[in-house]
Amino acid sequence: MPKLSVVVPFYNVQTYAPDALKSLELNAREDFEFLLVDDCSTDGTPALLERAARELPGAVLLRHERNGGLATARNTGLDAARGAYVAFLDGDDWLAPGHLARTLAAIEALSCDFVRTDHVQVTGRSRSVQRVPYGPQLVVADPRAAILPASRATAVDYPYAWAGMYHRRLLDRGLLHFTDGLRTAEDRPWIWRLHRQARSFAAVGMPGTFYRRGVSTSLTQIKDERQLDFIRAFDQVLSETAADPDSDLLLPKAVRTYCAVIAHHIGSIERFEPAVARKLRSMSAAALGRMPQEVLDRALDAMDSGRSALLRRLRRRTARTARAGAGL
């Protein structure tokens, strides 16, 4: 059995894949496997992966017959993973040499379910270190305790799957798979489930993953209907959190985060195609209507005036639509 399985989805990233693959080579060990998932790329990516499958130690090439999106591609890799630990990388990012071995040593020393690492955000030639929003370093803690408070950024607001490493027992318990078909925000239900149901975790620093921002093929840059999957992702967060025994404590955080993401998208709605913008408004208004209203009231009262006013206008739209439907 390999010590570590690294799941790496690729889709039309021929410009960036060489950096990712080279960084895997600089992290390779005889007990590591690299699960390279080609999500039906239509550019030069498949040829790069075929070469890597021949030359990269531990590489296993997996192919999709049709494009399924990042969540589905990661699941394909997870289904094939044999390692005692699991890590992720995206095909347009890269790792510092030796990062995987250092992270593996940390999680083994701490003997916890998962660790979270800092990362380096890369925008053009600019680089900045992004920290896990959790204070204690190298201290094993209860993941549930890192969800709150609702009033500031916490560990569930740092959802990046590639910023960490995970013990296989989480995979065996069904906690590492993603919601199939989600095209964006696929990591939001994932990180919430992980923090609600895993037993132990630690933040370990070690910013060895380099995350590219502004990549044209990234869904953070694509402004079509796929972006609206954040609604489905956060609806899942809310429904699963509502079923949690501590729902009274956790729902205010889930609702406030959902509201913040809606406000972000509505606040920059001009980026979207007109038809998508109309759908965004409608779906966001409906989402506000589905939230527990008393919790939503408190969330809006606690937000800054600009975002609160924007969301209250959207909320009134839901009420008007409901009255019109009832013929009032």
Express each pLDDT in 43-87 by its tens digit.
Answer: 999 999 999 999 999 999 999 999 999 999 999 999 999 999 999
CA dist 293 and 235 (Å) reads 14
φ and ψ at residue 165, rounded to 5 degrees: -150, 150
- pLDDT at residue 208, as a whole number: 98
Q: pLDDT at residue 216 above 60?
A: no
Which of 325, 291, 305, 303 minimizes the C-alpha distance to 315? Answer: 291
Could you tell me if residue 218 is inside a domain?
no
Could you tell me if residue 45 is inside a domain?
yes
- pLDDT at residue 327, as a whole number: 46
Q: pLDDT at residue 217 above 70?
A: no
- pLDDT at residue 321, as a whole number: 53
Same-domain status, 155 and 250: no
φ and ψ at residue 154, rounded to 5 degrees: -135, -175
Boundary residue ending a domain (213, 240, 263): 213
Q: pLDDT at residue 244 above 70?
A: yes
Q: What are the C-alpha distances in Å from 80 to residues 35, 105, 166?
A: 8, 23, 15
Which of 90, 36, 88 minimizes the C-alpha distance to 62? Answer: 36
- pLDDT at residue 223, as a whole number: 65
**Which pLDDT band, with edges at 50, 70 and 90, does 323 fall under?**
very low
Contact 258, 291 (CB under 8 A): yes
Boundary residue ending a domain (185, 213, 241): 213
Same-domain status, 99 and 127: yes
**Which pLDDT band, with edges at 50, 70 and 90, does 212 fall under?**
very high
Same-domain status, 262 and 124: no
Q: pLDDT at residue 320 above 90?
A: no
Contact 3, 33 (CB under 8 A): no
Q: Give me the mean pLDDT over the 115-128 stretch.
A: 97
Same-domain status, 44 and 149: yes
- Percentage of the chain modeled with pLDDT above 70: 94
Boundary residue ending a domain (183, 213, 243): 213
Q: Give me the mean pLDDT over the 79-108 stretch.
A: 98
Same-domain status, 162 and 197: yes
Express each pLDDT in 272-288 by its tens digit.
Answer: 999 999 999 999 999 99
Same-domain status, 164 and 55: yes
Q: Give me the mean pLDDT over the 214-238 stretch.
A: 79
| List of residues 6+ apart from 87 with CB closer than 8 A | 4, 5, 6, 7, 100, 103, 162, 164, 165, 166
φ and ψ at residue 210, rounded to 5 degrees: -105, 115
Q: Is the peptide bond before 46 cis (omega within 30 degrees of 0)?
A: no
Q: What is the pTM of this model?
A: 0.93
Which of 192, 205, 187, 211 minimizes the C-alpha distance to 117? Answer: 205
Q: Would you give the DSSP letter of residue 231?
A: H
Window from 73-77, 210-214, 317-321 with minimum mean pLDDT: 317-321
- pLDDT at residue 318, as a whole number: 65
Same-domain status, 142 and 178: yes
Q: Give me the mean pLDDT over the 237-257 stretch.
A: 98
Could you tell me if residue 220 is inside a domain?
no
Our count of domains for the chain comes to 2
Express each pLDDT in 1-51 by its tens digit.
Answer: 899 999 999 999 999 999 999 999 999 999 999 999 999 999 999 999 999
- pLDDT at residue 278, as a whole number: 94
- pLDDT at residue 232, as a whole number: 96
Same-domain status, 207 and 300: no
What CATH number is given to the structural domain containing 107? Answer: 3.90.550.10
Q: Give me the mean pLDDT over the 116-129 stretch.
A: 97
- pLDDT at residue 193, as a whole number: 98
Which of 111, 135, 154 minimizes the C-alpha distance to 256? Answer: 154
Q: Which domain holds residue 125?
A: 4-213
φ and ψ at residue 95, rounded to 5 degrees: -115, 150
Express each pLDDT in 146-196 by its tens digit.
Answer: 999 999 999 999 999 999 999 999 999 999 999 998 999 999 999 999 999
- pLDDT at residue 225, as a whole number: 87
Pairing relation of β-strands 201-205 and 164-167? unpaired
- pLDDT at residue 1, as a whole number: 87
Could you tell me if residue 290 is inside a domain?
yes
Same-domain status, 205 and 230: no
